[in-house]
């Protein structure tokens, strides 16, 4: 081997050995010394390397476990805080509901103008505080993992219509149109949590309205192809899209807005109000439902919030609405829609097409008149407020033409419009915006020849006898609130302060329904229900509705298993309570029997 083939460092070492050697040659001993030194160096380097790796990996291990523990501690602390917050907001809501309930009762008494004004402010402030608390409570419950979703049969259209109704009053003060469209494929009943779904949509809509000063807000529910397309697994994918023509959200802010406590901009909170928690809550709820929320938005042009989820089809024919609609009279009829808002036109068109109608949409009076000159129609639906020429003027123009004298015209107008003002305007029907499907269908049927199908009587039971309700509730404020509210609604009530009193009352007096608090001294609601169900009187079979502050998983099942008919979360919302009473009154009077779940308690 040539010296030049050796490692450069070794070459140098050899050169030095030779240089220092007296005879100019490297001795074996010197060479061995070189090799030995090399081994020593390698050993040392190896030892240090191994130790540095050991120490480093130990340190990283330690850092990792510290970080893990730190995260756990933080999560635990956060969880406790959420729990505390949930309890706290609940505690605050109870007296606040007392305040609100009695304010509402007080408002129905004789008051001076000044007193009424002050009380209205009390009510508005109280409600705002309640909204805030509800948001915080919801979020903290979600974070504490103590929210349980319902899994009951419901109809998507009812949910959407309920959402629209919530905002009907608010829209009267807005220069904003609202419209909704539900894919007819979704007319059947599905399983899910209608209340939470309503909450998400309501959040979307209130958000949309908050940031839209003029234009429109639309709710669109579309059937989507299922993820497992082709397989009939009883799941239906759908999208609920809430679009607005508001200020929109820039791309960089879009990521932020679903986070808790971070509205896109702090100035947003100041300018538009709100906790900014609504979307965070909605996102959590959507995730719990197995769905997701997305956002399409361009700053300055508007936003679309989209909830995508899959719902299980319910084995329940009751929830199926459209199948009971009678659209026979509408098939093949020709309609023209006149509306300056593209979303509105789209929704109207889609709905009419679902009914089998042939539809033309015009974006204003001029284009409508132009179309009408050359085309025959069976019905005209026009918006009221439009730029340039409004709907009332359009109707006048149309009516002035011979061939249109008998064509039915529907004027769709915002809720705030005084009906009497335009009575002679020449229309045949007025539908209030936002237009719900049932109203539109009924109106079309009426005008085009047939009666609309009465798919459900919205009014309270028409039974002549007054409903007798037993209130089992230990909290004085709640007792008073329930008693006065129910009396106000025309029901007769008795109060039992605990479960034992409730059972006693049920033994001796006749009731049509019992509202049963769950947590009461002496005897709780569960025990009392079981005792009442075991009685040998007709009261054993009346609806018993649980009132509970416990939204935990299984609470509902526990109530139902004990023989209760339904379940309501406290604090009591009077509208929901009213609906609940009416629902069970109807069920009891129509079926004259308890639902299966209640029957099971007798076995």
Partner 1 sequence: MRTNLLRHDGKRWKLKGAKPSAPDVVLAFLSPSLPNMAGEFDTLRAIFPDSIVVGCSTSGEIYEDDVREQTGSGIAISFDGDNASAKLASAVQTNATDSFQTGMSLAKELKNDDLVGIFIISDGLKVNGSQLILGLQGVLGPNIPINGGLAGDNADFGETFVGANNTMTSGQVAIIGFYGNGLKMHSGSFAGWNDFGHVRTITRAKDNVLYELNEQPALDIYKKYLGEEAKDLPGSALLYPLNIYHPDEPDHDLIRSVIGVNEDDKSLIFAGDIPEGYSARLMVGSPDNLIAGAGKAAQAISACDPQNSVALLVSCIGRFLVLGQRTYEEIEEVSEVLGAIPQAGFYSYGEISSHYKTGRCDLHNQTMTITILEEAA
In angstroms, the Cα distances linking 347 to 87, 119, 187, 391, 429 are 43, 40, 16, 18, 19
User: Which of 37, 331 has the CB closer to partner 1?
Assistant: 37
DSSP helix/strand/coil, 347: helix
Q: What is the DSSP string of 119-185?
A: HHHHHHHHHHHHHHHHHHHHHHHHHTT------EEEEHHHHHHHHHHHHHHHHTTSEEEEEEEE-GG
* Of the candidate residues 6, 60, 403, 553, the single one contacting partner 1 (CB under 8 A): 60
Q: What's the min distance (Å) between Cβ of 61 and partner 1?
A: 12
Q: What's the min distance (Å) between Cβ of 49 and partner 1?
A: 8
Judge contact between 542 and 512, C-beta under 8 A. yes
**Sign (positive or negative) of CA dihedral 98, 99, 105, 110:** positive
* Of the candidate residues 1, 2, 4, 9, the single one contacting partner 1 (CB under 8 A): 9
Go through the chain and tell me how many residues it has. Answer: 603
* Of the candidate residues 6, 31, 35, 63, the single one contacting partner 1 (CB under 8 A): 63
User: Which of 45, 535 has the CB closer to partner 1?
Assistant: 45
User: Which of 32, 599 has the CB closer to partner 1?
Assistant: 32
Q: What's the min distance (Å) between Cβ of 2 and partner 1?
A: 20
Per-residue mark of binding to partner 1, 19-38 (x: CB under 8 A): ------------------x-
Is 118 one of the binding residues for partner 1 (CB under 8 A)?
Answer: no
User: Which of 68, 227 has the CB closer to partner 1?
Assistant: 68
Place of tokens 């769709």: 412
**Sign (positive or negative) of CA dihedral 545, 550, 551, 552:** negative
Q: What's the min distance (Å) between Cβ of 75 and partner 1?
A: 24
The DSSP code for 451 is P
Is 266 one of the binding residues for partner 1 (CB under 8 A)?
Answer: no
User: Which of 37, 65 has the CB closer to partner 1?
Assistant: 37
Which residues fall within 8 angstroms of residue 394, CB to CB, at 6 or more apart? 338, 365, 368, 369, 382, 386
d(CA 345, CA 521): 58
Is 48 one of the binding residues for partner 1 (CB under 8 A)?
Answer: yes
User: Which of 43, 370 has the CB closer to partner 1?
Assistant: 43
DSSP helix/strand/coil, 58: helix
Is 6 one of the binding residues for partner 1 (CB under 8 A)?
Answer: no
d(CA 535, CA 524): 17
Is 72 one of the binding residues for partner 1 (CB under 8 A)?
Answer: no
User: Which of 64, 118 has the CB closer to partner 1?
Assistant: 64
Is 68 one of the binding residues for partner 1 (CB under 8 A)?
Answer: no
Q: What's the min distance (Å) between Cβ of 29 and partner 1?
A: 15
Is 228 one of the binding residues for partner 1 (CB under 8 A)?
Answer: no
Q: What's the min distance (Å) between Cβ of 48 and partner 1?
A: 5
Q: Which stretch binds partner 1 (CB under 8 A): 55-63, 103-111, 121-129, 532-540?
A: 55-63
Judge contact between 257 and 299, C-beta under 8 A. no
Is 59 one of the binding residues for partner 1 (CB under 8 A)?
Answer: yes
The DSSP code for 410 is E
Stretch (H or E) spanning 85: helix 28-107
d(CA 370, CA 99): 58
Is 64 one of the binding residues for partner 1 (CB under 8 A)?
Answer: no
* Of the candidate residues 45, 111, 466, 522, the single one contacting partner 1 (CB under 8 A): 45
Is 69 one of the binding residues for partner 1 (CB under 8 A)?
Answer: no
Is 62 one of the binding residues for partner 1 (CB under 8 A)?
Answer: no
d(CA 531, CA 50): 75
Site of interaction with partner 1 (CB under 8 A): 9, 12-13, 16, 37, 41, 45, 48-49, 51-52, 55-56, 59-60, 63
């Amino acid at each position: 081997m040539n010296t030049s083939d050796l490692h450069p460092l070794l070459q140098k070492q050899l050169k030095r050995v030779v240089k220092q050697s007296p005879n100019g040659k490297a001795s074996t001993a010197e060479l061995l010394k070189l090799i030995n030194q090399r081994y020593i160096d390698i050993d040392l380097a190896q030892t240090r390397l191994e130790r540095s790796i050991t120490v480093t990996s130990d340190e990283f291990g330690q850092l990792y476990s510290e970080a893990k523990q730190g995260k756990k501690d933080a999560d635990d602390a956060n969880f406790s805080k959420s729990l505390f917050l949930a309890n706290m907001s609940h505690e605050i809501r109870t007296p606040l509901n007392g305040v609100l309930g009695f304010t509402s009762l007080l408002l129905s008494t004789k008051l001076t103008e000044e007193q009424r004004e002050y009380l209205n402010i009390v009510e508005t402030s109280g409600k705002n505080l309640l909204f805030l608390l509800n948001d915080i409570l919801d979020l903290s419950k979600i974070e504490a993992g103590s929210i349980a979703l319902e899994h009951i049969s419901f109809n998507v259209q009812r949910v959407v219509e309920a959402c629209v109704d919530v905002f009907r009053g608010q829209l009267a003060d807005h220069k904003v149109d609202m419209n909704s469209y539900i894919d007819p494929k979704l007319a059947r009943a599905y399983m899910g949590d209608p209340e939470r779904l309503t909450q998400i949509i309501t959040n979307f809509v209130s958000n949309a309205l908050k940031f839209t000063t003029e234009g429109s807000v639309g709710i669109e529910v579309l059937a989507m192809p299922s993820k497992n397309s082709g397989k009939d697994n009883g799941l239906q994918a759908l999208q609920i899209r809430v679009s607005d023509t508001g200020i929109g959200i820039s791309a960089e802010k879009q990521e932020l807005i679903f986070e808790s406590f971070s509205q896109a901009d702090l100035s947003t909170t100041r300018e538009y109000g709100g906790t900014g928690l609504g979307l965070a809550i909605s996102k959590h709820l959507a995730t719990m439902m197995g769905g997701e929320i997305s956002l399409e938005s361009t700053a300055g042009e508007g936003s679309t919030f989209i909830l995508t989820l899959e719902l299980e089809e319910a084995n329940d024919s009751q929830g199926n609405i459209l199948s009971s609609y009678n659209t026979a009279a509408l098939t093949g009829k020709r309609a023209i829609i006149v509306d300056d808002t593209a979303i509105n036109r789209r929704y109207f068109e889609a709905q009419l097409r679902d009914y089998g109608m042939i539809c033309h949409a015009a974006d204003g009076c001029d284009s409508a008149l132009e179309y009408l000159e050359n085309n025959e129609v069976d019905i005209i639906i026009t918006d009221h407020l439009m730029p340039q020429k409004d709907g009332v003027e359009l109707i006048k123009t149309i009516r002035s033409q011979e061939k249109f004298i008998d064509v039915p015209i529907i004027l769709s107008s915002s809720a705030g419009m005084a009906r009497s003002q335009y009575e002679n305007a020449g229309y045949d029907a007025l539908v209030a915006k936002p237009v719900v499907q049932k109203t539109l269908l009924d109106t079309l049927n009426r005008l085009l020849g047939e009666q609309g199908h009465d798919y459900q009587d919205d009014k309270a039971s028409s039974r002549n006898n007054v409903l007798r309700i037993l209130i089992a509730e230990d909290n004085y404020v709640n007792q008073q609130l329930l008693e006065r509210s129910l009396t106000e609604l025309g029901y007769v009530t008795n109060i039992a302060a605990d479960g034992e009193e409730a059972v006693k009352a049920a033994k001796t007096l006749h009731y049509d329904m019992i509202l049963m608090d769950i947590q009461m001294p002496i005897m709780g609601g569960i025990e009392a229900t079981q005792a009442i169900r075991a009685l040998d009187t007709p009261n054993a079979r009346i609806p018993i509705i649980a009132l509970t502050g416990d939204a935990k998983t299984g609470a509902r099942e526990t109530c139902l298993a004990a023989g209760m008919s339904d379940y309501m979360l406290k604090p009591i919302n009077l509208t929901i309570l009213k609906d609940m009473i009416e629902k069970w009154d109807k069920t009891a009077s129509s079926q004259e029997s308890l639902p299966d779940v209640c029957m099971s308690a007798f076995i």
